[in-house]
Structure 1
Amino acid sequence: MNESKQSESQKVRVLFVCMGNICRSPTAHGVFRQLVVERDLSHRVEIDSAGTHAYHVGEPPDPRARATALERGIDIGDLRARLAERADFESFDYVLAMDRDNYRILSSLCPAGMESKLRLFMEFAPDLGVRDVPDPYYGGARGFDQVFDLVEAASRGLLEDLLKRHLRSASAMPSR
């Protein structure tokens, strides 16, 4: 196996999924991408986001999600909504649903034998006692702040999980 193929096969692939892929999952995508960059792990972790509904395919994140992320130093303006598909379970190691409704939809897409890849994202922040990242779409800016806070906590927990399970050699690296 050539060196680039070997490096590619060692990547851990993470997919964040919400309903329309314009609020919660792109926020998670951006926050987690920033944490990965800060730990100098971009060459070892691939990140994407998708939605269970095709309402916004091809669109950038909601302006309120972009504004909230920018206020916190994260630019998610480059992301575009796409639809989650059955093949994602073959491509990704983690398929992380933002809530139980989207988890159920993803469960129906999940091929037999790949169920262990599907999880609720908030499982990575068990101390918060929250199972779902609430959908802020129909609310005000405060909902986007709450989503960001939840996503940030779960992203830190996810990174720790990846460091323990998949990126052991990188876990000794200090964070920036």
Structure 2
Amino acid sequence: MKKVSVLFVCMGNICRSPTAQAVFESFVQRSGLAQAIQVDSAGTHAYHLGSQPDQRSQQAALGRGIDLTQQRARKIQAADFTEFDYVLAMDLQNLRALQSYAQAKQAQNLKLFMEFASRWREREVPDPYYGGSQGFERVLDMIEDASEGLLAHIIRQHSLERERLG
């Protein structure tokens, strides 16, 4: 069976999208669906290719038991639009960039990640790069909420509950 695949995208792939990748992976792992769901992250720009996530992102995530140290920044590639079932942007600016890169038939996979959140009214995950540590904690709170909603959506859409129980 083909895995359901999710790609999180922000600008540089060092704060929001690697955090979303790791948080969502932890939700997937805890749900027992690691064999059914593949997760990755990328950036719309090549500012930090090969770099680890921002130290502040790593520290905030580690405070919640999530390790980002194995991740490395990469730029979105044309193949990502066909390989991933969900290409989720952290904000409108990056969603527009993704829409401009994608072919028309691939645009249906593009969404804002926060569309899956239930406890936040904001539809964009703010970039914490230029702020203080509180921004990174807020980003984690938002990502946890949207991850919960995304996982529930994927389970429903792809009938994964039966697979997990079967």
Give the TM-score of the pair, scaled to structure 1.
Answer: 0.90
Q: Tell whether 2:147 aligns with 1:131.
A: no
* Structure 1 residue ranges without an equivalent (≥5): 1-6
Give how far 1:112 is off: 1.8
- Aligned-residue Cα RMSD (Å) equals 1.3
Give how far 1:168 is off: 3.8
Q: How does 1:64-103 map to 2 (within 5 A)?
A: 64-103=56-95
- Please identify, of 135-144 and 106-115, the stretch whose mean Cα deviation from structure 2 is larger: 106-115
Is the 2:118–2:145 Cα contact (8 Å) retained in structure 1? no
What residue in structure 1 maps to residue 156 of structure 2? 164
Matched AA of 1:83: K
Separation in 1, partners of 2:9, 2:22: 13
What residue in structure 2 maps to residue 119 of structure 1? 111
What residue in structure 2 maps to residue 60 of structure 1? 52
What residue in structure 2 maps to residue 25 of structure 1? 17
In structure 2, the residue corresponding to 1:72 is in which secondary structure? coil
Separation in 1, partners of 2:37, 2:147: 13
Give how far 1:170 is off: 4.0
Matched AA of 1:62: D
State the percentage of identical aligned residues: 53
Matched AA of 2:128: P
Q: Tell whether 2:96 aligns with 1:104.
A: yes
In structure 2, the residue corresponding to 1:36 is in which secondary structure? helix
